[in-house]
């Protein structure tokens, strides 16, 4: 199982939590604002090295701790196929504050360690595999392309250790290239200076495009199957990757296409001073019975599609890494009818470790009964229960 112990210190309202995390299904229940999402957020940080919801990482540090200069710590004992004993992952956040003339200003610094050795974010991602289902997943269907790109990026970063590094390099190159385009528009840079950055952009960008294409090939049939199981035979799903750069037969061929495309858009880029083509403009279409669900999904359809994407994500990670991910379901069952809820819980129960949060434990206890572990989340504490709530 992926995670055997979780320790939190000054993480949001969870000031001091120390939890043995069992294999199988664990249900965390409690009223609103008790720390259920905070708990799941912390576990997911062990997988993707950042919060899925904080705009600013300062939010993660308990208010009281900020004043005292204390650190927030997320610590997990996690399984690693390459090591006999579990690894100790620690992600720490320190806020340093000062009273400046314009008001209080704070700086946040983050430190990641695996078995005491410092790692970068890209050095951590891929160790713990996790898939997070949240009530916000509906945005995957109805929201902007950036959410769908993030979905692909998180999936592929966990599946392929090289991907996140390439993505970080691409984003760096993109920033430099856009800066240069602005300077050129002001007559402060020559076309020759662009050449180096064009080369870097094409190299990283074509590879990212190709990897996204390859993963979509695994992801799509899996999502289609889960969608059919959840919605019945009447609805036929298809996912279509819409890369900004036309795909060729391989990554190198895609690089040739990317070069040609940059030529084509060069006048537009000179006018807008922004890179017009590349994986930062990718999207994928979600189509049911020929209709684009971005525009036409009903709320219930969008919820079901979002679940199919997440179940597909979990299955793709299992297929690519040969090891099943940790599933995190944060309030993901609300707004779902009883039939769909049961189908999702049934699918989730095949994974070695599943953490579910809910305000209504009966929704879950009705399905799992004594087959799950239950924890009560309240007042910043997480307490195991002996039986079924």
- Using CB under 5 A as the criterion, which residues of the chain lie in contact with Mg ion when the complex forms? 36-37
Q: Which of 9, 26, 34, 363 binds ligand ATP (CB under 6 A)?
A: 34
d(CA 359, CA 374): 12
DSSP labels for 202-247? HHHHHHHHHHHHHHHHHHHHHHHHHHHHHH-TT--EEEEEE-SSPP
CA 177 from chain centre, in angstroms, equals 27
Q: Which of 37, 222, 301, 318 binds ligand ATP (CB under 6 A)?
A: 37
If the CB atoms of residues 41 and 315 are measured against ligand ATP, the closer one turns out to be 41
Helix spans in the chain (H): 36-48, 63-68, 121-124, 138-142, 145-159, 161-185, 191-231, 251-264, 266-272, 293-296, 299-321, 338-348, 361-368
Q: Which of 124, 331, 354, 361 binds ligand ATP (CB under 6 A)?
A: 331
If the CB atoms of residues 13 and 176 are measured against ligand ATP, the closer one turns out to be 13
33: contact with ligand ATP by CB under 6 A: yes
296: contact with ligand ATP by CB under 6 A: no
Instruction: Tell me the per-residue interface mask from 343 to 372 with ligand ATP, x by CB under 6 A, - otherwise.
Output: ----------------x-------------
Q: Which of 36, 119, 227, 303 binds ligand ATP (CB under 6 A)?
A: 36
Closest contact distance (angstroms) between CB of 53 and Mg ion is 9
Closest contact distance (angstroms) between CB of 80 and ligand ATP is 28
Pick from 27, 29, 28, 31: nearest CA to 370 = 27
d(CA 372, CA 347): 14
137: contact with ligand ATP by CB under 6 A: no
38 binds, among Mg ion, ligand ATP, none (CB under 5 to 8 A by kind): ligand ATP
- Mark the segment that binds ligand ATP (CB under 6 A) among 58-66, 119-127, 175-183, 299-307: 58-66
13 binds, among Mg ion, ligand ATP, none (CB under 5 to 8 A by kind): ligand ATP
d(CA 363, CA 384): 18
d(CA 34, CA 74): 18
d(CA 28, CA 39): 9
Which residues contact ligand ATP (rule: CB under 6 A)?
12-13, 30, 32-38, 59, 61-63, 331, 359
């Amino acid at each position: 199982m992926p995670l055997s112990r979780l320790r939190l210190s000054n993480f949001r309202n969870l000031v001091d939590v120390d939890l043995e995390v069992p294999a199988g299904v664990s249900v965390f229940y409690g009223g609103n604002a008790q720390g259920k999402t905070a708990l799941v957020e912390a576990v997911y940080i062990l997988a993707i090295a950042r919060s899925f919801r904080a705009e600013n990482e300062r939010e993660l540090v308990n208010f009281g701790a900020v004043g005292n200069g204390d650190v927030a710590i997320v610590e997990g004992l996690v399984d690693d196929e390459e090591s006999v004993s579990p690894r100790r992952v620690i992600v720490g956040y320190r806020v340093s504050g000062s009273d400046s003339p314009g008001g209080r200003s704070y700086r946040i610094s983050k430190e990641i360690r695996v078995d005491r050795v410092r790692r970068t974010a890209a050095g951590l991602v891929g160790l713990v595999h996790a898939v997070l289902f949240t009530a916000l997943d509906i945005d995957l269907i109805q929201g902007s392309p950036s959410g769908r790109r993030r979905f692909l990026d998180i999936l592929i970063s966990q599946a392929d250790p090289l991907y996140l590094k390439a993505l970080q390099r691409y984003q760096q190159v993109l920033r430099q290239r856009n800066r240069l385009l602005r300077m050129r528009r002001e007559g402060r840079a020559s076309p020759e200076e662009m050449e180096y950055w064009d080369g870097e952009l094409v190299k990283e960008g074509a590879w990212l495009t190709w990897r996204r294409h390859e993963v979509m090939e695994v992801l799509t049939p899996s999502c289609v199957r889960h969608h059919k199981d959840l919605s019945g035979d009447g609805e036929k799903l298809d996912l279509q990757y819409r890369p900004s750069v036309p795909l060729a037969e391989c990554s190198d061929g895609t690089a040739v296409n990317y070069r040609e495309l940059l030529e084509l858009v060069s006048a537009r880029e000179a006018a807008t001073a922004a890179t017009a083509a590349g994986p930062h403009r990718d999207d994928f279409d979600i189509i049911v019975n020929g209709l684009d669900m971005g525009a036409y999904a009903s709320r219930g359809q969008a919820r079901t599609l979002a679940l199919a994407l997440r179940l597909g994500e979990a299955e793709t990670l299992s297929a690519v890494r040969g090891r099943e991910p940790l599933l995190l379901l944060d309030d993901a069952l609300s707004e779902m009818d009883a039939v769909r809820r049961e189908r999702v819980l049934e699918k989730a129960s095949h994974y070695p470790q599943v953490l579910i949060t809910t305000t209504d434990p009966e929704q879950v206890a009705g399905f799992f009964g004594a087959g799950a572990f239950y924890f009560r989340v309240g007042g910043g504490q997480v307490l195991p229960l002996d039986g079924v709530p």
